[in-house]
């Protein structure tokens, strides 16, 4: 397994200033992770700071930590050419980072269509936008992806339909093994439905409850989720990782989003994933 980490794991430390991206790369280089993906949220900072991008890419090469995926937000619901242009520019950033995979959103995380008609009309615009982005990615020799993420473009059936509709050989999926829970889909169905179109895979774990207090995310199925150390929650990671192991060339990245202290949580998560993959635990 090609196991690495997402920079999202370090979001608390990055936002507080306790670490910067160079420091994250140094930490990853000394860890059991073999690569990093850069989760840039809206990515505006990197569009405006090319020197930071190039210095980061250079340092990643120096410490032997490949940048495999660059992840940004996006909103293609309105068929806005300006948004497509921004995503094309973000693809250029991804290339300068040295990433071969680019992941973009197509709607705000919390948005959900009101009815089937709104879904269908929005879907048509999303398909056109994804094609345009994927075509630019092809010019750069890159793979363009969308993640099963949020409440709109989530669930294996919706993503498989999108990949089919976009119909570009370099348009694939960044498969998050846990995110389907947000829309009431069990992780096994998510993984089985998308593993064959996955260009990269994200691993996370959740505590899952029928009722919960502050800080928990309510799903469309009425469950509540709270991120935790991988291997400490309720997600069937042994079964999921057995499926992931059938795709040894696809990069797999830890995405820790729990309330535990980040650095030990990342360390424990990486160790648990490796043990589960090896069948030790």
d(CA 72, CA 102): 8
Does residue 115 form part of some domain? yes
Residue-wise pLDDT for 192-214, tens only, equals 999 999 999 999 999 999 988 78
| Max CA pair span of the chain | 51
CB 233 within 8 A of CB 177: no
Does residue 209 form part of some domain? no
Residue 199: closest CA among 254, 129, 143, 160: 143
Which CATH number covers residue 146?
Answer: 3.20.20.150
Domain containing 66 equals: 2-200
Apex CA 194: angle with CA 80 and CA 231, to 5°? 110
Does residue 165 form part of some domain? yes
The model's confidence at residue 280, banded by pLDDT at 50, 70 and 90, is: very low
Does residue 180 form part of some domain? yes
Model pLDDT, residue 212? 81
Half-sphere exposure of 166 (CA within 13 A, CB side): 27
Residue-wise pLDDT for 15-35, tens only, equals 999 999 999 999 999 999 999
**What DSSP character marks residue 98?**
T
What is the mean predicted confidence (pLDDT) over 2-16? 97
Does residue 275 form part of some domain? no
**Is the four-CA dihedral 112, 116, 122, 128 of positive or negative sign?**
positive
Residue-wise pLDDT for 213-267, tens only, equals 788 999 999 999 999 999 999 999 999 999 999 999 999 999 999 999 999 999 9
CA 2 to chain centre: 15
Residue 254: beta bridge partners? 5, 203
Does residue 98 form part of some domain? yes
**pTM: predicted TM-score of the whole model, two decimal places:** 0.95
Structure tokens at 89: 């520019």
Model pLDDT, residue 79? 87
Structure tokens at 47: 């569009």
Q: How many domains does the chain have?
A: 1
Residue-wise pLDDT for 113-153, tens only, equals 999 999 999 999 999 999 999 999 999 999 999 999 999 99
Residue 147: closest CA among 120, 123, 180: 180
Does residue 168 form part of some domain? yes
Does residue 148 form part of some domain? yes
Q: In what order do the strands lie in the sheet with 217-218?
A: 205-209, 224-228, 217-218
Task: Say what percent of the chain tops pLDDT 70.
Answer: 99
Task: Say what percent of the chain tops pLDDT 90.
Answer: 94
d(CA 119, CA 142): 29
d(CA 136, CA 110): 27
Structure tokens at 123: 């879907």
């Amino acid at each position: 397994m090609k196991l690495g980490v997402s920079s999202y794991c370090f979001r608390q430390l990055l936002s507080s200033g306790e670490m910067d991206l160079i420091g994250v790369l140094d930490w990853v280089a000394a860890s059991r992770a073999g690569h990093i993906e850069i989760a840039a949220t809206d990515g505006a900072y990197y569009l405006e700071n090319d020197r930071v991008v190039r210095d980061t890419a250079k340092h990643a090469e120096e410490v032997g930590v490949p940048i495999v995926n660059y992840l940004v937000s996006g909103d293609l619901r309105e068929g806005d050419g300006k948004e497509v242009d921004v995503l094309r520019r973000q693809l250029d950033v991804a290339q300068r980072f040295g990433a071969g995979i680019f992941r973009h959103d197509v709607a705000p995380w919390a948005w959900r269509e009101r009815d089937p008609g709104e879904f269908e009309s929005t879907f048509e615009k999303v398909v056109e936008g994804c094609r345009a982005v994927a075509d630019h990615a092809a010019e750069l020799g890159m793979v363009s992806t969308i993640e099963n993420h949020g409440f709109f473009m989530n669930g294996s059936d919706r993503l498989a339909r999108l990949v089919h509709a976009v119909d570009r050989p370099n348009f694939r999926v960044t498969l998050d093994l846990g995110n389907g829970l947000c829309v009431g889909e069990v992780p096994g169905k998510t993984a089985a439905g998308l593993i064959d179109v996955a260009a990269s895979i994200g691993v996370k774990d959740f505590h899952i409850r029928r009722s919960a207090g502050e800080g928990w995310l309510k799903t469309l199925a009425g469950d509540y989720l709270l991120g935790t150390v991988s291997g400490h929650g309720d997600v069937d990671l042994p079964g999921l990782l057995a499926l992931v192991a059938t795709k040894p060339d696809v990069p797999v990245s830890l995405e820790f989003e729990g309330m535990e202290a980040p650095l030990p949580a990342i360390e424990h998560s990486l160790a648990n994933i490796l043990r589960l993959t090896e069948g030790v635990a």
